[in-house]
């Protein structure tokens, strides 16, 4: 604390920039009341909470204090964003290229936080009641604000810059994290716990992509305009069933399954003169901005078979984009950025998405940097209510960065070595093939590294009905490699393997520590009803945070309960199991 304060005081304007300015707006309602002391004691940072809520040390209700806290968190977030922008405007020679990239990550993430906090405050500013699903939406956004700050901090620390200017970020990041944590605690106590309802346990739902095996040539179950029908047929070389001016594949007519609405369709092809674009990024740029209403349909980008060497980014203002390829190994998006080559983990991704409602179908995503280049991400996903279907993710360390918010992966293939499924999303992997590759000498494999940092975050990794096996290079190797289900990247790491096949490659202890006894008592690792040699639990770790759970506990981590997927996944057309397999008749 002393070192942070001394650094902070070297920049007087920074001290003024982050000095709180409070306004009293407590209201009187029938909600149970309390004092600053009583409410703050229920947060992870009671002393910090009391310090900034001291002017309000009077009787109030949890909703009042939640609004005050989020207002202060938003104010701090705006000031932090201004500070990062200021640092980026300094003489470029003041920082290394890696440091500049870390600052750019922080700017991007800080803006996401300002947007999320503004949206949250706008919804709760004048009400103490929210529909239960909307309350979970906001809890998800508040959980992500903590993840974003932690990602910023990780990048700054990894840049190893000795710059005094960069060190000035540490105290604001620390205080911002505490602000976000207190706000999340208040919100969870006021809007989630008080109105929490048991989620529905749903059986298997068959949706409109269920029978597609070979991409667009098998016919896509999409409803589209006559114009887009012509585009479709020019590549598909077959006629579609025409009904009342709307194109619909016959599959939909015969099964009665609701189709996925297409607002517009464009084609990307490597060959000049074929399709609308030769670049995926150009196609993304052509999509309309802020199309948050799925009722208006998806902006579909059909990417013709080929290898696309580009770094694709789908920003937050490009919502409800669906990218469809010709199949795994046929439509390939590839890159080779890595931490060793000077990129941050966050920005090493070949494909990055934050636009809400994103869907990918029949695509391979690769990072070809190789094991020797350490962290090298194929896909970074921070898009709420996003889904990947029949896609593959190929890399080594840190292949798939499930960064934040709610995500779903179905019938996918994930390949890697160390921490190759990581991040702090609320994510379910279902019916996926998870394959560990051969790592470098003296390394061991860890499938997951979940990054939950706060006990009130509604995040974690749930792996259901998947197969956990060795990839070909590992399976045929003469070297003995230890492989673990996961290790705790952050203090409240949460990962569940359930109803999955776990092969013999998994070490009998199951899980690996991160460093010493870090997080072993605060993590939540669980297994339920798995099969295979590697699923035997007799010799599993004895950490207090490790659990063998029953069906009631496992149901908390299903698609329906953990991601509210039964509400938003039907619009994607992707099959999913809402509950446990044992509930399916």
484, 405: one domain: no
Q: Given CA atoms 225, 230, 235, 237 in this order, what sign does their dihedral have?
A: positive
pTM, two decimals, is: 0.89
Amino acid 53: pLDDT: 86
166, 226: one domain: no
Q: Where are the alpha helices (DSSP H) in 35-131?
A: 36-40, 46-53, 62-88, 97-124
462, 542: one domain: yes
Q: How far apart are the first and last CA of the chain?
A: 58
Name the nearest CA neighbour of 328 among 469, 439, 435.
Answer: 435
Domain CATH number, residue 295 = 2.160.20.10
Last residue of a domain, one of 416, 449, 471: 416
225, 371: one domain: yes
Provide the residue-wise pLDDT of the chain in tens; the chain has 585 residues.
Answer: 433 333 333 333 333 334 333 333 333 344 556 778 888 999 999 999 999 887 766 667 899 999 999 999 999 999 999 999 999 998 777 788 899 999 999 999 999 999 999 999 999 998 999 999 999 999 999 999 999 999 999 999 998 766 777 788 999 999 999 999 999 999 999 998 754 444 433 334 444 444 444 444 444 566 666 666 666 666 654 443 333 333 333 222 223 335 788 889 999 998 887 889 999 999 999 999 986 665 678 999 999 999 999 999 999 999 999 999 999 999 999 999 999 999 999 999 999 999 999 999 999 999 999 999 999 999 999 999 999 999 999 999 999 999 999 999 999 999 999 999 999 999 999 999 999 999 999 999 999 999 999 999 999 999 999 999 999 999 999 999 999 999 999 999 999 999 999 999 999 999 999 999 999 999 999 999 999 999 999 999 999 999 999 999 999 999 999 999 999 999 999 999 999 997 654
Domain CATH number, residue 162 = 1.20.140.40
Is position 578 within any domain? no
480, 378: one domain: no
**Residue that the structure tokens 């992707």 belong to:** 574
Amino acid 543: pLDDT: 98
Indicate the burial class of 162 (C-beta count within 10 angstroms; 0-12, 13-18, 19 or more): exposed
Calculate the alpha carbon distances from 198 to 405, 426, 458, 571 in Å: 20, 17, 15, 23
170, 275: one domain: no
136, 272: one domain: no
Is position 28 within any domain? no
Amino acid 31: pLDDT: 57
| Pairing state between β 33-34 and 60-61 | antiparallel
What is the CB neighbour count within 10 angstroms for residue 558? 29
| Pairing state between β 298-303 and 321-324 | parallel
Q: Which residues are marked as active site?
A: 419
Is position 583 within any domain? no
402, 485: one domain: no
Strand partners, 360: 323, 388
403, 435: one domain: no
390, 305: one domain: yes
539, 448: one domain: yes
Last residue of a domain, one of 145, 177, 192: 192
Q: Count how many domains the chain has.
A: 3
- DSSP-assigned letters across all residues of 283-310: HHHHSPS----GGG-EEEEEE-SEEEE-
Segments forming the whole domain that contains residue 257? 220-416
316, 410: one domain: yes
Name the nearest CA neighbour of 101 among 282, 337, 369.
Answer: 337
């Amino acid at each position: 604390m002393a070192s942070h304060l001394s650094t902070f005081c070297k920049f007087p304007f920074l001290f003024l920039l982050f000095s709180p300015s409070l306004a009293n707006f407590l209201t009187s309602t029938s909600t149970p009341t309390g004092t600053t002391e009583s409410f703050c004691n229920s947060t992870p940072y009671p002393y910090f909470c009391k310090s900034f809520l001291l002017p309000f040390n009077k009787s109030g209700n949890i909703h009042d204090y939640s609004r005050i806290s989020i207002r202060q968190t938003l104010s701090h977030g705006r000031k932090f964003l201004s500070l990062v922008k200021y640092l980026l405007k300094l003489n470029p020679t003041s920082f290394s290229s890696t440091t500049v990239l870390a600052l750019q990550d922080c700017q991007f993430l800080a803006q996401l936080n300002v947007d999320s906090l503004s949206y949250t405050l706008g919804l709760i500013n004048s009400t103490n009641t929210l529909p239960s699903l909307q309350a979970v939406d906001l809890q998800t956004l508040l959980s992500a604000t903590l993840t974003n700050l932690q990602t910023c901090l990780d990048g700054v620390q990894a840049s190893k810059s000795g710059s005094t200017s960069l060190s000035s970020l540490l105290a604001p990041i620390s205080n911002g994290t505490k602000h976000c944590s207190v706000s999340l605690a208040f919100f969870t106590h006021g809007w989630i716990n008080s109105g929490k309802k048991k989620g529905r346990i749903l059986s298997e739902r068959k949706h409109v992509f269920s029978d597609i095996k070979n991409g667009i040539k098998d016919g896509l179950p999409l409803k589209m305009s006559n114009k887009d029908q012509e585009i479709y047929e020019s590549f598909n070389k077959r006629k579609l069933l025409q009904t009342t001016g709307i194109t619909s594949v016959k599959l939909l007519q015969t099964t009665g399954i609701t189709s996925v609405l297409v607002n517009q369709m464009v084609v990307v092809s490597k060959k000049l003169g074929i399709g609308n674009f030769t670049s995926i990024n150009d196609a993304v740029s052509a999509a309309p901005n802020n199309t948050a209403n799925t009722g208006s349909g998806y902006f579909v980008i059909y990417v013709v078979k080929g290898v696309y060497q580009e770094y694709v980014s789908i920003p937050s203002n490009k919502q409800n984009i669906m990218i469809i390829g010709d199949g795994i190994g046929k439509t390939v998006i590839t890159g080779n950025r890595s931490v060793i080559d000077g990129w941050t983990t966050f920005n090493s991704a070949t494909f990055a998405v934050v636009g809400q409602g994103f869907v990918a179908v029949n695509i391979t995503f690769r990072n070809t940097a190789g094991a020797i280049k350490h962290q090298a991400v194929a896909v970074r996903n921070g898009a709420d209510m996003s889904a990947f279907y029949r896609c593959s993710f190929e890399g080594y360390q840190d292949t798939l960065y499930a960064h934040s918010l709610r995500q779903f992966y179905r019938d996918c293939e994930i390949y890697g070595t160390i921490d190759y499924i990581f991040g702090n999303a609320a994510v379910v992997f279902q019916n996926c093939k998870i394959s560990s590759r051969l790592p470098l000498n003296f390394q061991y494999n860890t499938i997951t590294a979940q990054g939950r940092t706060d006990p009130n975050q509604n995040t974690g990794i749930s792996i259901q009905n998947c197969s956990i096996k060795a990839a070909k290079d590992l399976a045929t190797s003469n070297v003995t490699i230890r492989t673990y289900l996961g290790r705790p990247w952050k203090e409240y790491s949460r990962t569940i393997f359930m109803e999955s096949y776990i092969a013999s490659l998994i070490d009998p202890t199951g899980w690996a520590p991160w460093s010493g006894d870090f997080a072993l008592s605060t993590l939540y690792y669980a297994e339920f009803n798995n099969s295979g040699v590697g699923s035997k639990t007799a010799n599993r770790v004895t950490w207090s945070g490790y659990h063998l759970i029953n069906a009631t506990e496992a149901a908390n981590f299903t698609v329906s309960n953990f991601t509210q997927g039964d509400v938003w996944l039907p619009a994607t057309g992707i099959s999913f199991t809402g509950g446990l397999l044992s509930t399916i008749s």
